[in-house]
Amino acid sequence: MEKSPGTPRPTAKDIAADIRQQIVNGDLGPGDQLRAARDLAKEYGVTLVKVQNAYRELGEEGLVFSQQGRGTFVVDPSQPVDDGQRGGSAFVSLATEITAMHETIRQLGVRLERLEQIVNTGGSAPAQ
């Protein structure tokens, strides 16, 4: 992604948005390792700090986590990860909301089964 002279350099938010889009598109999946920050900085033509700030932003959103000496990885929501790896309050809020959605879906499934039983028995409510 070489930039021509005079083209504005991307910000940390721009870099984070690019990576976020790769996650959304499925180009980066759960457990995938992000490129080394130095390599990405060179590709974007920015300082290492900008890429590190982009990674930090994504970490605060709960999308990635870093492991000292190993790299930065896309979070796999199906795998338990300690709180140190899933940093921000955004992740906690999202996890809470997803849990509530799962419970709502479960309750809707129970209601649907009851309605199907009523329809299948000709309109009389089944014994509880």
- CATH number of the domain enclosing 84: 1.10.10.10
Asked whether residue 6 is domain-assigned, the answer is no
Range of the domain at 99: 12-120
Please tell me the pTM assigned to this model: 0.59
pLDDT digits (tens, 9 = 90+) for 5-40: 667 889 999 999 999 999 989 999 999 999 999 999
How confident is residue 1, by pLDDT bands cut at 50, 70 and 90?
A: low
How many domains are there within the chain?
A: 1
Residue 71's alpha-carbon distances to 31, 52, 55, 95, in angstroms, are 11, 11, 11, 24
